[in-house]
Structure 1
Amino acid sequence: MGGSAPRRDRRLPVETTSFVDRRDELAQGRELLARARLVTLTGPGGVGKTRLAARLATRIARAFPDGVRFVHLAGLHDPALVPLAAADALGLHDHSTQPPLDALAEHVRDRRLLLVVDNCEHLLPACADLAAALLRGTMGVRVLTTSRHRLGLTEEHLLDVRPLPVPDPDGDLSAADGYAAIALFADRAAAVVPGFRLTAANRAAVARLCRRLDGLPLAIELAAVRMRVLGVEQLLDRLDDRYRLLNAGSPSALPRHRTLGAAVDWSYELCTEREQLVWARASVLAGSFDLDTAESVCADGERSEMGVPSVGGWGEGESGLPPVGGRGGSESGVPPVGGRGGSESGVP
């Protein structure tokens, strides 16, 4: 196995901030991994797939006597390095002439372990080949991947990671503190504004802010950072220019997670030219829309050729990417909640 891949810590990422909610997704993930050998967490950029995968893997680590290993793909762009990154995570340093995937499967053939493969969306064919080789060449290896789009294997089970629920800002907010989006904003705001807490005076504004950000964790965290210099109402007033406003993420984060604009650009650049066209046309639809609406707006009367069922509504097609119109569409500039035929989720 020749070549080299950037060495990364093969252990699970350490949580440096509090983990908010996701109880339902954790329970669903555990159930899926108990009966399936390949599970993919899908969802738009910034929804928290990596954090959820790491937390899920930690929770079920005892079920794997040979351990849990983490494969970081965010910094890789050459598909040929995917097997090498996995080999490094698994402690395999084989310099034989054996095909890399064959050597990998043979190395872990008799092990019971969980391999977490993070950020697959830009290397889908290589990740699918890796997963297929492990599924078919071993008995005790399970694979958990994160991606903005499914791998497409028959054996794959999907877990849709949705934006966080947000209460109606004009409704009863007496239980607003129990909503994950509100709790996340309050937690992150308290980190930059000591003593910040939710009160009767600011609950409605916080709920309105989180609603306009579609409950997307990345957008909420970037907004909370701005609490150093702006109040909640001032943040709301400035959200019309959110790509300029939400641009101060942690320098330790991946480049595409440091600003909201970078997260959307990453998704857009992964689309084909046709998918980008559908994305642009769908951006005129503010909020939820169903398949018929997407087809009428995007397809020019050619439903199957345009593939609108695949990409016009966060669907199950080739991109699995949100119809944001190159920074248009929903309030946050990320996929509108309910973009998949009006459901609460979105991505395949």
Structure 2
Amino acid sequence: RLVTLTGPGGVGKTRLAWRLAARAERAFPDGVRLVHLSDLHDPALVLTAAAEALGLPDPLPARAPLDAIVRHVRDRRLLLVLDNCEHLLPTCADLVAALLRGTTGVRILATSRHRLALTEEHLLEVRPLPVPDPDGDLSDPAAHPALALFADRAAAVVPGFTLSPANRASVARLCHRLDGLPLAIELAAVRLRVLGVDQLLERLDDRYRLLAAAGPGVQPRHRTLRAAVDWSHDLCTPEERSVWARASVLTGSFDLETAESVCADAETDAGTGIGIGTGGASAVAVAHSGGADKDLGPGPSTDPAPSLRTPYDVLEAVAGLVDKSVLTREEHWSGTVRYRLLDGLRHYGLDLLRRTPGAEA
């Protein structure tokens, strides 16, 4: 009765949820109700937004508002879509738990970079689009969703753009370097107004400045690639941010033992750590207040550096990063679990790491 779509920012969780809801609507006699949470920052407003979506006739009572919501839908069969729960997790989890416990006909589809952590929850990981080998057979672009998405968005800003034998390999390389992430692909396609595909490829080392071309109608966290990643960084604890930064030196997948070796504090500098703290979030907050250029990236933090003294400390941080869709979990052929940072998230971590002299080495 509870399915949560998880995945990194910009992977398309919201779009997929809307599509699923539209296709499933006929199965619910009392309809599909959508609750948009991305623009809410006060947890107290979550229940108000849910009550409005569910059609409660009166304002929620100050006492036992959850009970009022449950009573209103107790005998209904409907699908409730909670979109973007990650920054309001405790309140969202309380709402969902109450509905699951107090009703039989309400089903819930949630989107969140972080799981709700309820025992009834079934997770569906939304992965980036598969990207073909740039040197392989690209004769049927429609068979490759990442290329098809780029071509569709490119044609919207450059009328007449099509994938051709002359540009297919370059587009495939571009999509590969963007991890097949739909948001990054769409932002890159907008840049075709002023750059060619090969010029885009040449400038991807500075992707956080380059991929910032969305219009004002787009949600703030999706107007730039950096804003999308800053949103994830803001959700992390100081320990998780430290592991994110330190693990960014690993270019491929890695196992837990490697993470413990690379990310734990060395005995000679235990306690000094990496002062990355809440840099990404504070940089965005300052930018939104008009005090800085948000695309200059996260600034150094004044927070005390977190301590990662033991392998268990690293394990807890790795688990948190997996839960928050920062680290991707992969099953290795040997039966062990490995982890990977998408290339864009790895570059973000490197930016943070390099703010501390000597940390990268």
CA change 1:143–1:134 in 2 (3 A) is same
Contact 2:243–2:318 (CA<8 Å) still a contact in 1?
no
Q: Write out per-residue CA displacement over residues 196-227 of structure 1, whole angstroms, 9 at most, x where no aligned residue.
A: 11111100000000000000000000000001
Cα shift at 1:296: 2.2
**In the alignment, does 2:223 pair up with 1:211?**
no
SS at match of 2:322: coil
State the distance in 2 between where 1:334 and 1:199 align: 31
CA change 1:221–1:246 in 2 (3 A) is same
State the distance in 2 between where 1:135 and 1:335 align: 40
State the distance in 1 between where 2:144 and 2:179 align: 13
SS at match of 2:203: helix
* Match among 95, 102, 120 for residue 137 of structure 1: 102
CA change 1:180–1:95 in 2 (3 A) is closer
Taking the TM superposition and a 5 Å limit, the aligned residue runs for 1:1-348 are 37-92=1-56, 93-300=58-265, 302-306=310-314, 307-311=316-320, 314-316=321-323, 319-322=324-327, 330-333=342-345
Cα shift at 1:334: 6.2
TM-score with structure 2 setting the length: 0.77
SS at match of 1:115: strand
Gaps of 5+ in 2: 266-308, 329-340, 349-361
The alignment's C-alpha RMSD in Å is 1.8
SS at match of 1:214: coil
Cα shift at 1:308: 4.2
Contact 1:41–1:160 (CA<8 Å) still a contact in 2?
yes
Contact 1:42–1:159 (CA<8 Å) still a contact in 2?
yes
TM-score with structure 1 setting the length: 0.80
Contact 1:299–1:308 (CA<8 Å) still a contact in 2?
no
Equivalent AA in structure 2 for residue 114 of structure 1:
L
SS at match of 1:60: helix
Cα shift at 1:95: 4.6
Contact 1:322–1:334 (CA<8 Å) still a contact in 2?
no
Contact 2:248–2:346 (CA<8 Å) still a contact in 1?
no
Quick one: percent identity of the two aligned structures? Answer: 71
Contact 1:94–1:103 (CA<8 Å) still a contact in 2?
no
State the distance in 2 between where 1:95 and 1:233 align: 56
Contact 2:37–2:85 (CA<8 Å) still a contact in 1?
yes
How many residue pairs match? The answer is: 291
Q: Write out per-residue CA displacement over residues 236-273 of structure 1, whole angstroms, 9 at most, x where no aligned residue.
A: 01111111110011311110100001001110011111
Equivalent AA in structure 1 for residue 185 of structure 2:
I
State the distance in 2 between where 1:91 and 1:334 align: 44
